[in-house]
Structure 1
Amino acid sequence: MADGLLFGPFRDRWAHLCIDMQRMFADETEWHTPWMARVLPNVVSLVELDPARTVFTRFITPMSADDVSGTWHRYYQRWASMTRERMHPDLVDLVPELRRFAPPAWIEDKVVMSAWKGTLHSRLRAAGVTTLIVTGAETEVCVLGSVMEAIDLGYRIILVSDAVCSGADSTHDAMLGIYNSRYGMQVEVVTTAELLAARLDGMF
């Protein structure tokens, strides 16, 4: 058994939730996430396990700061270069290494940090999914927002530590420590190698 998989097999009731692996974070923008290139091969290897079980989320920014309210308005005033009236439309798309998998993978667009404000939960429940393998960007932002709501919804979370990334080393490392120390009953932290070994062992 992989060291991080504490609660046994999850067989065929899983999906791979890949958060915001988009060109807006991979390319040289104000939101550039340098680690994305480093973790991308691991993400690809996990998608390849079964592309049809993969859900790619995309973070869709507003056309302008005037299209959102509250603190989001202030946020997009600060990051005006990342609004859709200012950035190239292709930057919203997945990185090419992942875009080729959809379909059969499906794309779930979102306008906030969490992946759960649209149809994701109902679609996964209809498919009998109870376990989520989680990868993507950023560890302490949209990955965190999506994981926390998934915990509230009762999903078993398998977080792949070397397939998530951030633009800030210190908060990435701190967040992985928090997952291990405070969410041990809900979040199992594994490496890509451990998860692939578990696949070979017939755990899923």
Structure 2
Amino acid sequence: MNQALDRRPKVHAWHIQEREYARQEERRGRRHAYEHIAPATTALVVIDMVPFFVSQSPYALGVVPNIARLAAGLRAAGGTVAWILPTGPPARSEFYGPRVAELFDHRAEGAPLRDRLWPRFRVDDQDIVVDKTAASAFFPGRCRLPHLLDQRGIDTVLITGTVTNVCCESSARDAGTLGYRVIMVADANAARTDQDHNATLHTIYRTFGDVRPTTDVLALVRNS
């Protein structure tokens, strides 16, 4: 089969190196920074899961079920689900070149935000649906998400979506800088390659937050 045409869902072979686990265990006496979460003050942040990105990425297709499980589980426990959608300004043709810039300028002018989400997701009336005009959903002045989360008393964010090493990593870094407890969900983020994906997991785990798989996060929600 032509790999360039293969759009079957795939899951990253993710990992954190044992030396990084050992480093954190020595520093703080435990492997994971956040061993408990309160669902009422926790938000699942879903980055850029729109058809423009998801349909082109087997890995993005592969994380759809885990994101849906996290959304249903956290919502049922009283937490917040926030869907973040990319919106202009138009991509810079000087940087991307005219053809790619045109592809990236993929806004659906006038369409309701939730209609731009990947169609297999269920959006609840209590969910947050908001757009961003930068890579990070937490960069000041480029997305209303921090304000909306603060209104709900959110102190913990679960980062999911695509692309792991671009908008998801940017959002995780900025959320940590703003003082949120950050958990990047290892098997609910999607990059182009395992190498790209795991490099981000290493960076987040080492410096900006925690890294956990979906099953661990759902267990934290259920055991709260």
When normalised by structure 1's length, the TM-score is: 0.79
Query: Which residue is equivalent to 1:16?
Result: 44
Q: Which amino acid letter does the alignment assign opposite residue 118 of structure 2?
A: V
**Given the alignment of the two structures, is residue 155 of structure 1 paired with residue 180 of structure 2, yes or no?**
yes
Q: How does 1:61-140 map to 2 (within 5 A)?
A: 61-62=88-89, 64-65=90-91, 73-75=94-96, 77=98, 79-84=100-105, 89=108, 93-98=116-121, 100-116=122-138, 117-140=142-165
CA contact (8 A) 2:37 2:221 kept: no
CA contact (8 A) 1:4 1:190 kept: no
Of 145, 169, 186, 2:170 maps to 145
Q: Deviations over 1:119-167 (max 9, x none)?
A: 2111111211110011111110000111111111000001110000011
5+ long unaligned stretches in structure 1: none
Q: Which amino acid letter does the alignment assign opposite residue 83 of structure 2?
A: F
CA contact (8 A) 1:159 1:187 kept: yes
CA contact (8 A) 2:33 2:209 kept: no
What is the SS of the residue equivalent to 2:63? helix
Aligned residues: 183
Q: Which runs of 4+ in 1 moved over 4 A?
A: none
Query: Which residue is equivalent to 1:194?
Result: 216
Q: Distance in 2 between matches of 1:160 and 1:141?
A: 15
199 and 61 in structure 1: CA distance in 2 versus 1, 3 angstrom threshold: same
Q: Distance in 2 between matches of 1:81 and 1:102?
A: 32
Q: Deviations over 1:6-29 (max 9, x none)?
A: 3332212111111111100122xx
What is the SS of the residue equivalent to 2:73? coil
Could you tell me the percent identity over the aligned residues? 27
**Offset at residue 96 of structure 1 (A):** 0.6
Q: Distance in 2 between matches of 1:46 and 1:7?
A: 17
Q: Distance in 2 between matches of 1:125 and 1:168?
A: 34
When normalised by structure 2's length, the TM-score is: 0.73
RMSD: 2.4
Q: Distance in 2 between matches of 1:133 and 1:156?
A: 9
Q: Distance in 1 between matches of 2:204 and 2:184?
A: 9
Which has the higher relative contact order, 1 or 2, with Cα contacts under 8 A spaced 6 or more apart?
Answer: 1
5+ long unaligned stretches in structure 2: 1-29
CA contact (8 A) 2:185 2:212 kept: yes
Query: Which residue is equivalent to 2:19?
Result: none
Q: Which amino acid letter does the alignment assign opposite residue 6 of structure 1?
A: A
**Given the alignment of the two structures, is residue 41 of structure 1 paired with residue 65 of structure 2, yes or no?**
yes
CA contact (8 A) 2:51 2:118 kept: yes
